[in-house]
Amino acid sequence: MTGAGSGTAAGGGFAARYRAVVGERGRLCAGIDPHAALLEQWGLPVTVDGLREFAQACVTGLGPTAAVIKPQVAFFEVFGSAGLAVLEETIAGCREAGALVLADAKRGDIGSTMAAYTTAWLDDVSPLCSDAVTASPYLGFGALDPALAQARATDRAVFVLARTSNPDGARLQTARTDQGRSVAQSIVDAAAAANADGSATAGVVVGATREHGLDLSELSGPILSPGLGAQGATAQDLAVIFADTADLRWLLPAASRSILAAGPVPAALAAAVEATRDEIETALIGPNRS
Ligand SMILES: O=c1ccn([C@@H]2O[C@H](COP(=O)(O)O)[C@@H](O)[C@H]2O)c(=O)[nH]1
């Protein structure tokens, strides 16, 4: 299997893997968020067996279709070790199908503990090994160094929270640092510095739900933008808030519940991915794209 998600790539950084799969499948990150309400909507029990069936349908429907797949780790942790076993199968299945897997685990801790999180999420020795992981910079961007180093060495990426899609984030993220920049802008700038080698090792998370006030033009790395659909953002909003502030080739809009609502039939999930992606492409570059 030679898909973007299969194993460790050989050089070129995450940038090459990302460009290849997004070029082929389009700009969209499909989330796997097995909410209890969705399991019920799909006619599944809210048990680990229901979780497994849900995840298998996602692997079949989303794995060959979406460029990036983002399992939300929390919904698997709800079921303890059995849920984590399902997460392992889900990650492996999506990577085998050629998607890049971004584990939404939002890890962040002192360096020595961060090293263990790094092994868990970004090292081939781990059954949870993914192509990228989300991270919180609240202990300082430098505390993420072990993850960034491992990601750089293995052509993976770390997506760092900068300006999140929830309203509660604003007060902290728009606060000014002693250098006069917003906290969120300082995260973006640190990520841009980490990407100076062209590897795109450091992505950022910037929600699609509101004006972010950031200059993303120097980032040279992926911008995960959650908030489409269930949180109220639209494809047109993406064009408005990112067109003048970012290189749109790096924009990776994300949606979970609005896609998963199309289940449980895998073909319907795949169709929802395609429809969402087409809406995004039309909004960002117009209907006559080649
Ligand atoms: O700022 C952020 C960061 C992460 N998320 C995560 O993305 C999905 C969104 O799910 P929807 O169903 O499309 O609302 C979810 O896993 C969040 O934890 C985010 O929404 N905002």
Q: Does position 146 have pLDDT exceeding 90, yes or no?
A: yes
- Say if CB 138 and CB 107 are below 8 A apart: no
What's the pLDDT tens digit per position in 11-68? 679 999 999 999 999 999 999 999 999 999 999 999 999 999 999 999 999 999 999 9
Q: How confident is the model at residue 285 (pLDDT cuts 50, 70, 90)?
A: confident
What ipTM does this complex have? Answer: 0.99
What's the pLDDT tens digit per position in 166-179? 999 999 999 999 99
Report which ligand 1 atom has the smallest distance to the Cα of 70: 16
Q: How far is the CA of 11 from the centre of ligand 1 (A)?
A: 30
With CA atoms as reference, report the closest residue to 35 among 78, 88, 85, 90: 78
Secondary structure of 143-193 in HEC code, one letter for each residue = HHHHHHHHHHHCCCEEEEEEECCCHHHHHHHCCECCCCCEHHHHHHHHHHH
Cα–Cα distance, 277 to 290 (Å, whole number): 14
Element at 122 (helix H, strand E): helix 111-122
Q: Does position 2 have pLDDT exceeding 70, yes or no?
A: no
Q: Does ligand 1 lie within 6 Å of residue 72's CB atom?
A: yes
Q: How far is the CA of 204 from the centre of ligand 1 (A)?
A: 13
- Say if CB 232 and CB 209 are below 8 A apart: yes
Please tell me the predicted confidence (pLDDT) of residue 12: 78
User: In percent, how much of the chain has pLDDT > 90?
Assistant: 93
Q: How confident is the model at residue 116 (pLDDT cuts 50, 70, 90)?
A: very high
**Mean pLDDT of the region 229-247:** 96
User: In percent, how much of the chain has pLDDT > 70?
Assistant: 95
Cα–Cα distance, 275 to 231 (Å, whole number): 18
In the chain, what are the domain boundaries? 15-282
Element at 226 (helix H, strand E): strand 223-226
| Nearest CA, atom 3, ligand 1 | 164
Q: Does ligand 1 lie within 6 Å of residue 255's CB atom?
A: yes
Which superfamily does 15-282 belong to?
Answer: Aldolase class I (3.20.20.70)
